[in-house]
Amino acid sequence: MVMKIAILPGDGIGQEILVQSLKVLKAIKLKFGHKFIISKGLIGAESIKTNGLPITQETINLCKDSDTILLGAVGDPLYDNDPKIKIRPEQGLLELRRILGLYCNLRPIKTYNKLLKVSPMKQSVIKNVNFVIFRELTSGIYFGKKGRSQDEAYDTCTYKKNRIKKIAMKAFETARQRNKKITLVDKANVLETSRLWRETVKEIAQKNQDIKVDYIFIDNACMQIILKPRQFDILLTDNMFGDILSDEASVITGSLGLLPSVSFGDHYSLYEPVHGSFPQAKGKNIANPLGSILSVSLMLENFGLKKESFLINRAVNESIKLGLTTQDLNTKKPCTTSEIGDFLFNYILNIKNDQVKSTQIIS
């Protein structure tokens, strides 16, 4: 297979973790004979420093001309600490999502037996957790009309029924491949947008009665994810709630650095780890690259390369089993970011072909 991949390292640790993801892609290329054509673009604070904009038309065109996009991280504390700054790194990512129509974000949450003790939660509660958060990505409060005066500010949350229906239908399709269960997370007792979400999902549920659908308020959902996370299989929710829930759910796994994600549109897709830019770790070779590497696995799976995806998952499982993890997961004998990448590269190259079988990462 020939695949054109746009690489957007972004800010903070983005460059370091993507170097490890490219090592893994190189190993897959050498083992299976694929051709990955890599092109690099700027986004976020790095783009602001160079171009004065969080994303340029050049980067947008690069993404449009590629088969898919692999993102590092976006964000810089320089902009977080000054509320008066008008141009911010995150605007580049929001603009890219809008232009490419990346309306559906999937964030798998699963636990590894070897890492159960790393989580602050009870092992008996989190063992065998495996659910997916479906987050709407191009509407809601992040994209609504905004305003600010000296003493007042507002952010408008707006949703159209067709946008809700689009991501809900995708959730129903995926539920049919998993455990046929969806939980809609909203605030329908207070918010009109949530009432529209609930009405729309109920209409779809009537036509898909093989799928069990539950409804839960966001405040209760936050509590239930901590109390009984195994009750969930697919969590469907809006932009802001999905952003918050996925970060909360990372506590289950033990580290935000473990979580991959993919954002889909009708024609484009973008893969990135859930974690932020972690500027405190920039240049120290201590960041966890597994969220980015597992995002590569998702990417290959969704492009039909299931054996290749499985092999990456197997390599990651082996590194965790052997305790070869970064300091967020192993405080006694942590590996560096690059050591993790080197181990995975060598593992993939050296495993025998007859040991490679096809499976799904979201299963």
Q: Give residue 354's pLDDT.
A: 61
Both 72 and 136 in one domain: the answer is: no
The pTM assigned to this predicted structure is: 0.90
Q: Give residue 362's pLDDT.
A: 42
Both 133 and 249 in one domain: the answer is: yes
Q: Give residue 44's pLDDT.
A: 96
Q: Number of folded domains in the chain?
A: 2
Q: Give residue 86's pLDDT.
A: 84
Q: What is the 3-state secondary structure (H, E, C) of the chain?
A: CEEEEEEEEECCCHHHHHHHHHHHHHHHHHHHCCEEEEEECCCCHHHHHHHCCCCCHHHHHHHHCCCEEEEEECCCHHHHCCCCCCCCHHHHHHHHHHHHCCCEEEEEEECCHHHHHHCCCCHHHHCCCEEEEEEECCCCCCCCCEEECCCCEEECCCCCHHHHHHHHHHHHHHHHHCCCEEEEEECCCCCHHHHHHHHHHHHHHHCCCCCEEEEEEHHHHHHHHHHCHHHCCEEEECHHHHHHHHHHHHHHHCCHHHCEEEEECCCCEEEEECCCCCHHHCCCCCCCCHHHHHHHHHHHHHCCCHHHHHHHHHHHHHHHHCCCCCCCCCCCCCCCHHHHHHHHHHHHHHCCHHHCCCCCCCC
Answer yes or no: is 299 within a domain: yes
Q: Show which residues are catalytic.
A: 142, 187, 219, 243, 247
Both 140 and 90 in one domain: the answer is: no
Q: Where among 203, 229, 253 does a domain terminate?
A: 253
Answer yes or no: is 270 within a domain: no
Both 343 and 245 in one domain: the answer is: no
Per-residue pLDDT of the chain (363 residues; tens, 9 = 90+): 999 999 999 999 999 999 999 999 999 999 999 999 999 999 999 999 999 999 999 999 999 999 999 999 999 998 887 777 889 999 999 999 999 999 999 999 999 999 999 999 999 999 999 999 999 999 999 989 999 888 999 999 999 999 999 999 999 999 999 999 999 999 999 999 999 999 999 999 999 999 999 999 999 999 999 999 999 999 999 999 999 999 899 899 988 899 999 999 999 999 999 999 999 999 999 999 999 999 999 999 999 999 999 999 999 999 999 999 999 998 889 999 999 999 999 999 998 766 665 444 443
Answer yes or no: is 168 within a domain: yes
Q: Give residue 137's pLDDT.
A: 93
Structural domain harbouring 230: 120-253
Both 148 and 198 in one domain: the answer is: yes
Instruction: For residue 235, give the CATH number of its domain.
Output: 3.40.718.10
Answer yes or no: is 258 within a domain: no
Both 294 and 192 in one domain: the answer is: no
Answer yes or no: is 322 within a domain: yes
Both 249 and 340 in one domain: the answer is: no
Both 180 and 100 in one domain: the answer is: no
Answer yes or no: is 115 within a domain: no
Q: Give residue 121's pLDDT.
A: 94
Both 98 and 127 in one domain: the answer is: no
Q: Give residue 32's pLDDT.
A: 95
